[in-house]
Structure 1
Amino acid sequence: MNDAGLRARELRDGAPDAIATWFELERPVVYRLCLGFLADSAEADDVTQDALLRLRDRIESWDPQRPYEPWRNTLVLNLCRDRIRRRTRREHHEQIAAGDTAAILPDPSDVAQAEELRTALAAALALLPPREREAFVLHDLEGMDSELVATQLEVKPATVRAMLCMARRRLRDALADRLPAGFAFGGGAL
């Protein structure tokens, strides 16, 4: 069992000082997941807090015989999906109220000129379809293997590979002016 799983087990078992150690270990990971899934740092901050509270409240439902990370990632992913659905509904109703039914997309070149590479990546991630973004974040940013990502997203490994190919192509296109020549996505880091 890895460090995150051990800390989660200690928290679940009520070990002294377990919550502080667990929180220090989990907060950066949960924030990275939220930022990747939501592509918005303010929303990622909010959902990170919600996710940590929800994880703590539901730690009793985690089966220590199973890996901790997929359980945590599923909970975080579901919270992010809920946030995206609420945001999409709100934007839709705002567009209708304003009399504008056309989709509004940020201009990637404006974002790239105004922000650092990390902010540009967040904007580019926002342009990906949600399932491609989920596969990309879990595989390329978090370093999970394709089989585990497939299990988590409830699709076949071949589907994950196809989603990763499309996501990488879209990100390369969106970030072409910001990436060094020969840059390749993958391997758990950017």
Structure 2
Amino acid sequence: MLQRVATEPDASADPERPAAEPAVPERPASLEQFLAGIGTRAFRFAEAGLRQREDALDAVQDAMMKMLGYQDRPAGEWTPLFWSILRRRIIDIQRRRRFRLGWLSPEPRHEDGSAVDWADDGPDPSRAHDGSEGYAQLSAALATLPARQREAFSLRVLEELDVATTARAMGCSEGAVKTHLSRAREALQRKLEDWR
């Protein structure tokens, strides 16, 4: 599915092609069901932003724990609220990482003087699950995008949230979401065409 998202042209660009009606997601009966259903997608989102598996798992777990405090909220508010909480948690981890690496210790280096890459090169559960080269290429291309573009693309295209919900989750206007998404699509298209 992810490969299809990255390579198919936008349906709105082809006037001959009828637009597919968006699927209405089923409302979960409980917050626990909602969190169980969103866990894998949330991990992928966090991993794209943090580029470290353990930090991504921590961010998702923290966001889920915080969501338990909002179980009295209507189910319609859970989706934008969860993505907003997770996004803020990712930003917090990124800031703490920059502070820790930048102020408390010099940048770690190998014996040959090259910078240490802290990314986990081990098998990635999401890639093993999908088993496709397309996901790896899309993931690598997403990692090169600025954070706001990556968030807009992930929430609008991969998570299929509407513009208003994405804007609430990102804490910006609907116009900003559209701008970030447009720039992300252009950059991803260029990047993925280079890899063909």
Superposition TM-score tier, normalisation by shorter sequence: 0.5 to 0.7
User: What is the deviation of 1:131?
Assistant: 1.2
Cα deviations by residue, 1:88-113 (Å, 9 ceiling, x for unpaired): 334444895469xxxx8x9xxxxxxx
Number of residue-to-residue matches in the alignment:
153
For 1:26, the equivalent position in structure 2 comes to 38
Q: 1:43 aligns with which of 46, 49, 55?
A: 55
Maintained 8 Å contact 1:36/1:125:
yes
Task: Tell me the distance in 1 between the aligned counterparts of 2:175 and 2:75.
Answer: 27
Cα deviations by residue, 1:50-71 (Å, 9 ceiling, x for unpaired): 3223323x234x5227521011
Name the SS of the counterpart of 2:29 in structure 1. Answer: helix
For 2:88, the equivalent position in structure 1 comes to 78
For 2:123, the equivalent position in structure 1 comes to none
Matches of residues 92-107 of structure 1 in structure 2 within 5 Å?
92-93=102-103, 96-97=106-107
Maintained 8 Å contact 1:132/1:163:
yes
For 2:157, the equivalent position in structure 1 comes to 140
Maintained 8 Å contact 2:84/2:168:
no
For 1:172, the equivalent position in structure 2 comes to 189
Q: Are residue 6 (structure 1) and residue 29 (structure 2) matched?
A: yes
Check 1:98–1:2 CA distance in 2 against 1; reply closer, same or farther (3 A cut).
closer
Q: TM-score, normalised by structure 1?
A: 0.63
Cα deviations by residue, 1:6-59 (Å, 9 ceiling, x for unpaired): 321xxxxxxxxxx4x455323223223323443444432232223223323x23
What percentage of aligned pairs have identical amino acids? 25
Counterpart code for 1:84: Q
Where structure 1 has 5 or more consecutive residues not aligned to the other structure, the ranges are: 9-18, 107-114, 180-190
| 82-91 or 141-150, larger mean C-alpha shift | 82-91
Task: Tell me the distance in 1 between the aligned counterparts of 2:84 and 2:105.
Answer: 31
Q: TM-score, normalised by structure 2?
A: 0.62
